[in-house]
Amino acid sequence: MFKLILSSVLFTLGFLTLVFFVEYNGTAIQNPWLFQLIGFLALVVGIALFYWTYRTLILQNEQNIETQLSNIKRNGNKVQVDLLKCEIIQNSYLEEKENNNIGIYSNIKFWDALIDSNSKDEYLPVNQMRLIYTVSKNDEEESYVSQLIYCDRETLLMKLYSQKETLLYIDKDDNHMYYFDLDFL
């Protein structure tokens, strides 16, 4: 956290110093280019420090998740899940296709969009599925929701029918920490 604050301070001071001394016309400071250089260096160091700190935090987070997952798989309760008894929740929507066109074609499309607001945009379907497995324990129902599955319903059903069963790993200490083994998808 200290490194993120330090990087923000360095970036801000470097930016302000650079902006001030680019337009500096005074006579009190003999070498304004030296302050421009110092401001530029502080700006670059601030950006680099932020990038490396942020990247390190992301890598540590990914490693923590992998460690938790391996601990749950190794030490958790294993529940055999009948995939055909799972409820499937579907969330489907359309997403505008990104055109990475550069040059004259993108300019033409820009002007066409300004003139005709009903221009033909391309949309791609996005299908998100989740499996819900419900277990009854002592007159109480507990549901376990899988991670997001990106495929259409028919493909998912076909894969579930061919696999038929999988494992659900549940942490012994915390029932809210679990992992659906859906590696076959």
Last residue of a domain, one of 21, 54, 71: 71
Does residue 33 lie within any of the structural domains? yes
Do residues 178 and 72 lie in contact, with contact meaning Cβ atoms separated by under 8 Å? Answer: yes
CA distance 83 to 132: 9
User: 91 and 34 in one domain?
Assistant: no
Does residue 104 lie within any of the structural domains? no
User: 128 and 57 in one domain?
Assistant: no
Buried b (16+ CB within 10 A) or exposed e, 79-97: eebebeebeeeeeeeeeee
CA distance 112 to 142: 54
User: 67 and 83 in one domain?
Assistant: no
Does residue 15 lie within any of the structural domains? yes
Q: Please report, for residues 15, 58, 122, the alpha-carbon distance to residue 180 in angstroms, rounded to integers and kept in the order given.
A: 48, 23, 35
Domain limits for position 134 = 77-97+112-180
Q: What is the per-residue pLDDT for 46? A: 92
Does residue 102 lie within any of the structural domains? no
Q: What is the per-residue pLDDT for 130? A: 92
User: 7 and 59 in one domain?
Assistant: yes
User: 176 and 87 in one domain?
Assistant: yes
Output the pTM of the full model: 0.59
User: 161 and 91 in one domain?
Assistant: yes
CA distance 67 to 71: 6
Q: What's the structural domain count of the chain?
A: 2
User: 146 and 67 in one domain?
Assistant: no
In the block, tokens 């659906």 appear at 180
Does residue 124 lie within any of the structural domains? yes
Does residue 116 lie within any of the structural domains? yes
Does residue 12 lie within any of the structural domains? yes
User: 42 and 88 in one domain?
Assistant: no
User: 116 and 58 in one domain?
Assistant: no
CA distance 149 to 128: 6
pLDDT tens sequence for the chain (185 residues): 788 888 989 999 998 888 888 777 777 777 778 888 888 999 899 999 999 998 999 999 999 989 988 898 898 889 898 888 889 999 888 887 766 555 555 666 666 666 665 556 678 888 899 999 988 877 888 889 999 999 888 888 898 899 889 998 988 888 888 988 888 87
CA distance 56 to 45: 16
User: 61 and 6 in one domain?
Assistant: yes
User: 55 and 24 in one domain?
Assistant: yes
